[in-house]
Amino acid sequence: MIFLLISIGLLIAAFYWLNQNVFSKMDCDFFMALVEKYGKNPGDALKGKRVWITGAASGIGEALAYEMASHKCKLALSDLNNQGLEKVKRKIINHHGLQEKDIILVPFNLTETIKHEEAYKKIIGYFKQIDIFFCNAGRSQRARFEEIDIQVHRDLFEINVFSGVNLSRLLVSGWLTESHPGHIVVTSSIAGKFGLPFSASYTASKYALLGYYDCLRNEVKSKGIKITVICPGPTASAILTKSFTGKPGEVYGKEFSEVDTRIPCDRQAKLFAIATANDVTEAWTSRSPYLWLVYGAQFLPSAFRYLFPIVYNEAKLSKIRDGH
């Protein structure tokens, strides 16, 4: 019995040491950490690729544009915010070495699926091919479940799910017809791995992305088409201020405080590039404690779902999510 107690104590001490000195410093899952250290260099693997990025005027999408430009990729940038796209384009030309001819701006409202084929054909006409599609555009949400109007659910799914799925359909169809397989990289969320309280519409939309693209991966893997789904945790972007609430048309509007759990957008973009260059199927890019929560949900689902609402009450969850 004494030996057992000593062994348990040593294991707890070892875990505590590892958490304090190793795991707490990580901002991605274990496999991604190994890939970053030992995998392919994005500068070599992505050089010269023709890349389409949605949601490219701000946040992770903007950072992805700069990251891909640093690898000399040719860029098609889409967003509803045309002025934001122009700003990103100027910055790329002035600071990242691409020329005017290497960038095409394709602004449109992604929820208007009638415009998708026109945008797709415009990019194909310009670059002749798309090698990588970053399906990145999306919105977040904050509201209690019982306060969410059904229209909010529909609106969020239109933005976060259906727009990207329809664009992916066009790309996959083209790649199969031309026998030129490409790569789709989807921005999901750690909210797609476990139910994040007070964000039901957002969480459901991110779960949906994992389902859609897991299915697509299984269908097209033999054709050489690659699918990567990335699940970022809290990120230092303006996504919180633009988040939906429970009322149609209303935005959350609150700023977040700078807290250590948030990853800068440029770091997220670098992790996205590493995952893309190494054909990672699913990556989690988050800091503690969220990274541990994803592991718990993935590998200890019953225990996690019992303990999570007990350990993370509303006040504690709000503090680590929004920094308030």
Taking Cα atoms as reference points, which of 228, 260, 238, 258 lies closest to residue 139? 238
Q: Is residue 202 annotated as part of the catalytic site, yes or no?
A: yes
Tell whether omega for the bond before 289 is within 30 degrees of 0, i.e. cis: yes
Regions of the chain with pLDDT less than 70: 1-24, 238-240, 253-260, 316, 318-324
Q: What gap in Å lies between CA 285 and CA 64, rounded to an integer?
A: 14
pLDDT at 324: 43
Q: What gap in Å lies between CA 50 and CA 57, rounded to an integer?
A: 18
| Domain range 29-322, its CATH number among 3.40.50.720, 3.90.700.10, 3.30.450.20, 1.20.210.10 | 3.40.50.720
Are the C-beta atoms of 288 and 23 separated by less than 8 Å? yes
pLDDT at 239: 65
Beta bridge partners of 103: 75
Q: What gap in Å lies between CA 177 and CA 171, rounded to an integer?
A: 10
User: Alpha helix (H) ranges present in the chain?
Assistant: 2-21, 30-38, 42-45, 59-70, 82-95, 116-127, 150-157, 163-178, 200-220, 265-277, 290-299, 301-311, 314-322
Residue 138 sits at φ, ψ, to 5 deg, of 180, 170
Dihedral over alpha carbons 298, 303, 306, 308 (to 10 degrees): -50
pLDDT at 179: 86
Are the C-beta atoms of 52 and 132 separated by less than 8 Å? yes
pLDDT at 96: 84
Residue 267 burial (10 A CB sphere; 0-12, 13-18, 19+): middle
Are the C-beta atoms of 64 and 134 separated by less than 8 Å? yes
User: Of these residues, 66, 120, 202, 290, which one is catalytic?
Assistant: 202
Q: What gap in Å lies between CA 227 and CA 273, rounded to an integer?
A: 14
pLDDT at 291: 93
pLDDT at 25: 79
pLDDT at 9: 57
Number of Cβ within 10 Å of residue 235's Cβ equals: 22
The angle, 0 to 180 degrees and rounded to 10, between the axes of the packed helices 265-277 and 59-70 is 60
Handedness of CA 263, 264, 265, 267 (dihedral sign): negative
Domain boundaries, the chain: 29-322
- 36: CB partners within 8 A, 6+ apart: 28, 271, 274
Q: What gap in Å lies between CA 59 and CA 256, rounded to an integer?
A: 14
Are the C-beta atoms of 199 and 191 separated by less than 8 Å? yes
CA 103 to chain centre: 22
β 183-187/226-232 pair status: parallel
pLDDT at 256: 60
